[in-house]
Amino acid sequence: MEPLFDRIREALAGQIGASAQSHGVLVLHIDAAALPAVVRRLKAEFRFDLLLDVTAVDWLGQSPRFELVWHLYSTLHRRRVRIKARVGEDEPTVPSLVGLYGSARFMERECHEMYGIGFAGNDDLRHILLYEGFQGHPLRKDYPKEREQPLVPYREGFEPPAVEFAAGAEAAPAVAGAGAPARPAGAVLTALPNPIRPAFTVPSREDTTIVNIGPSHPATHGTIQIVTELDGERVLRADVHCGYLHRGFEKECESHTWHNLIPYVDRLNYCSALINDFAYCAAVEALLGIEITPRAKYLRTLLAEYSRVADHLTCIAAALMELGAMTAFLYLVTIRDYIYEHLADLTGARVTYSYGRIGGLARDLPDGWLTRLEQILAQSDEFLGRVHGLVDRNRIFIDRMRDVGRISTSEAIHWGYTGPILRSTGVPRDLRKDTPYLAYGELDFEVPTGIKGDNYDRYYVRMREIDESIHMIRQLVDLLHTKGQGPINVDDRRCVLPPKPLVYREIESLINHFKLIMEGPQVPAGDVYVAHEGANGELGFYLVSTGGGTPYKVHVRSPSFVHMGGAHLMLEGYQLADIVPTFGSINMIGGECDR
Amino acid sequence: MNAPRTIPIRPEGGRSGAFEFISTRKDELIGWARKFSLFPYPFVTACCAMEFMAVSSTPYDTDRFGAALPRFTPRQSDLLMVVGTVTHKQAPILLKVWEQMCEPKWVIAFGVCATSGGFYNNYAAVQGIDRIVPVDVYIPGCPPRPEMVIDGIMQLQDKIARQRHPIVNERF
């Protein structure tokens, strides 16, 4: 065990139960009542300053039923701690951490609505991903996956889904559409239900007004809703609502095999789908104890950086377009389209690739792929230079970006920020440097940081990260030629399909193929948290396996969701119009935020 | 060498010439005008937004079909493009946007989630936006390639050209 972990165990000896080191993470089992004391000491004495994630596991049939899981990270020691506590089925309540970490607010709200866990001390447990009136807790194992609760009555000709609730539960569904008769054609619904409950509905002063922005608003690319209180043009309070793209990813995962999740994982952060793929595959490989081949390692690193370029291009292009810089948008989207077509040559799809595989990759590079790669990189260098020339010193751009949407380092860490937003405040925290994974340990690159944490810094950090990624891609092309020859998949029949000719020739391979497709790879029981540096920040996968071909639980620590938790800080005190560039520079991705 | 002969646009003498009058059916004329001036409202929610950006920018350029200028208020638009997954939480907003649009209006379901819920078969996703609003053209794909989107827009144009276009009352 690591020395730091031993010190923690010694210091907390009286307050914790069992503890162990699992996949590089210190796991502490505690009594839920001791949580604030343990976390306070971890934060004060061992500098665990980031609360990464709060989630729960529903062990239906066991007692106590729920297992709460917290992940903490120390930016000083670069280590993670996982805290686990069990609570029973009747009125499950644990102490809240909102007093210690701002980021706990959104995470506890999510955990509350998904599992019905109460957090004593968190007074804001409104719905966040679901909507007002939703009955039940969808991630509990006894909630049927397909039980829909529509908010609006369906059109004529469409059967409303049958809503049956177990005896003892609240009898009638509270949502308007469930079980309602169909809506005849031409009927106009005047009173549509409001899916959210704003934090405030009454102005705090006589001369202020409350203005709602979104969720279908051109400036909030992605579906986000912001309820603001305005003093003239100045935002006094902002209440950020997400969840409009909650597609039930985590519930969906529990009914598919480990391999079949890859397309779902792609659609989390759809701007850089390959990073999600590889992070998910790495998490499953950690559970299986697999080391991928050198070629797969270099290719994954190359494609992850390539995706990062595409993601940052999308973010900057959209942010610039919203400020009226249409030319820069067209330049950046043109390069992005080259990248999409280039990746389609390799993977068969332009946006959502399904290219990662547990134990390797779907296929090797086609002929001439690396030659075209260099052409695209050269072209993007030129276009990025033009974008720098167009906007960097542009008066309009500077006026709207500089000193707007500022966030300080301490606030950013308090609210759980990672990725370009945290780096723009001056903290060189990057998982690729801090805890190198894939081939990042062998590469030469810098971690660009900003100074003030304003919109301009976020823009510039992303532009510099594109440069660094291109620099890395060029090194990786060389590494692929020198050290990266050989197979792309590991030779492990637990997860990798046997070669097709063998499937047709021998019965063992045929059975192996059949079992892998029908039952999925048998992943050993256990849990693991693996995080990669996504384009927006720390993208973590917390997987729980009970030893079958289907995951028991998949939880995503998505950077966008955490960023939304503190987004009001970057909006309050600035002008109403500043919401547009600030949101552009945060780069909220709906699929990842709402899952 | 002879001086070049100019052909007057109007016949000399002020007499009316060719092409001053055409005869056509009212519906064909209005349909022809309407199909080339689609003002889309992008109801953009999810992954398909990436392809929507690609379709409307340089390499694919929907401007060629008269459907380039997005209107971000439903009251100025006549084509609702539902781009991406619509969840039950989003459904009231979609319905409100659709109800705010003036007639005539058309709806494109962009991508397989808007068409049928896609592979999200669970408590959160609406299994096809036609449960909420009527749909004219469904574009499959997850997300669809830009060529498919352009094909979808062209099919909608054909549909508009063939439609009845009442302008005064239901019969005219």
pLDDT at A171: 43
Q: What number of CA atoms fall less than 13 Å from residue A206's CA on the CB side? A: 0
Residue A235: its H or E element: strand A234-241
Distance in angstroms (rounded) separating the CA atoms of residues A452 and A425: 5
A185-220 as b/e, with b when 16 or more CB fall inside 10 Å?
A: eeeeeeeebebbeeeeeeeeeeebebeebbbbbbbb
Number of A to B CB contacts under 8 A, please give it.
152
Q: What is the mean pLDDT of residues A337-366?
A: 90
| Cβ proximity of A383 and A334 under 8 Å | yes
Q: What is the mean pLDDT of chain A?
A: 87
pLDDT at A191 over 80: no
pLDDT at A174: 54
Q: Is A216 left (phi over 0), alpha (psi -120 to 50) or beta?
A: beta
| Cβ proximity of A438 and A286 under 8 Å | no
pLDDT at A498 over 80: yes
Nearest CA-CA partner of A469 in A275, A221, A318? A275
Under the banding of pLDDT at 50, 70 and 90, the label for residue B103 is confident
pLDDT at A278: 92
Q: What is the mean pLDDT of residues B77-105?
A: 89
Q: Which of A245, A265, A341 has the highest number of chain B CBs within 10 A, making it the mutation to test binding with B? A: A245
Q: What is the mean pLDDT of residues A172-186?
A: 62
Under the banding of pLDDT at 50, 70 and 90, the label for residue A198 is confident
Q: What is the mean pLDDT of chain B?
A: 83
Distance in angstroms (rounded) separating the CA atoms of residues A292 and A298: 10
* More confident site: B58 or B13: B58
pLDDT at B91 over 50: yes
A:177-196 residues touching chain B, CB 8 A cutoff: 177, 185, 188-189, 192-195
- In chain A, residues with a C-beta closer than 8 Å to the C-beta of B45 are 222-223, 244-245, 590
> Are the beta carbons of B121 and A145 separated by less than 8 Å?
yes
> Are the beta carbons of A189 and B142 separated by less than 8 Å?
no
Counting beta carbons within 10 angstroms of the beta carbon of residue B164, is it exposed (0 to 12), middle (13 to 18) or buried (19 or more)?
A: exposed
pLDDT at A476: 92
Under the banding of pLDDT at 50, 70 and 90, the label for residue A322 is confident
- In chain A, residues with a C-beta closer than 8 Å to the C-beta of B42 are 218
B19: CB partners within 8 A, 6+ apart: none
pLDDT in tens, A516-561: 888 889 889 889 999 999 889 899 999 999 988 899 999 999 999 9
Q: What is the DSSP letter of A282?
A: H
What does A404-449 look like in DSSP terms, one character per residue? Answer: SS---HHHHHHTT--HHHHHHTT----HHHHS--TTGGG-------
Which residue in the set A177, A245, A248 is minimally distant from B122, CB to CB?
A: A248
Q: What is the mean pLDDT of residues B12-39?
A: 76
Q: What is the mean pLDDT of residues A191-202?
A: 82
pLDDT at A477: 92
pLDDT at B137 over 90: yes
pLDDT at A19: 80
> Are the beta carbons of A155 and B90 separated by less than 8 Å?
no
Nearest CA distance, B127 vs chain A (angstrom): 10
Which residue in the set A148, A155, A217 is minimally distant from B88, CB to CB?
A: A148
- In chain A, residues with a C-beta closer than 8 Å to the C-beta of B50 are 270-271, 314, 351
pLDDT in tens, A407-437: 999 989 999 899 999 999 988 889 998 889 8
Nearest CA-CA partner of A529 in A10, A22, A1, A4? A22
pLDDT at B9 over 60: no
Under the banding of pLDDT at 50, 70 and 90, the label for residue A172 is very low
Q: In what order do the strands lie in the sheet with B40-44?
A: B40-44, B79-83, B106-110, B137-139
pLDDT at A168: 42
Provide the residue type at A442 as one letter.
E
pLDDT at A217: 79
pTM: 0.89
B:75-104 residues touching chain A, CB 8 A cutoff: 84-85, 87-97, 99
3-state DSSP assignment of residue A142 = coil
Q: How many CB atoms lie within 10 A of CB A364?
A: 14
- In chain B, residues with a C-beta closer than 8 Å to the C-beta of A270 are 46-47, 50
Which residue in the set A175, A223, A314 is minimally distant from B45, CB to CB?
A: A223
Provide the residue type at A488 as one letter.
I
Cis amide bond preceding A215, omega within 30: yes
> Are the beta carbons of A155 and B132 separated by less than 8 Å?
yes
> Are the beta carbons of B92 and A340 separated by less than 8 Å?
no
Q: Does B33 touch chain A (CB under 8 A)?
A: no
pLDDT at A305 over 90: yes
pLDDT at B7 over 60: no
Under the banding of pLDDT at 50, 70 and 90, the label for residue B26 is confident
Under the banding of pLDDT at 50, 70 and 90, the label for residue A166 is very low
pLDDT in tens, A455-484: 999 999 999 999 999 999 999 999 988 988
- In chain A, residues with a C-beta closer than 8 Å to the C-beta of B70 are 218
| Cβ proximity of A580 and A322 under 8 Å | yes
pLDDT in tens, B43-76: 888 888 888 888 888 788 887 877 767 778 888 8
pLDDT at B107: 93
* More confident site: A5 or A174: A5
Q: Does A215 touch chain B (CB under 8 A)?
A: yes
pLDDT above 90 as % of chain A: 29
Which residue in the set A145, A221, A333 is minimally distant from B44, CB to CB?
A: A221
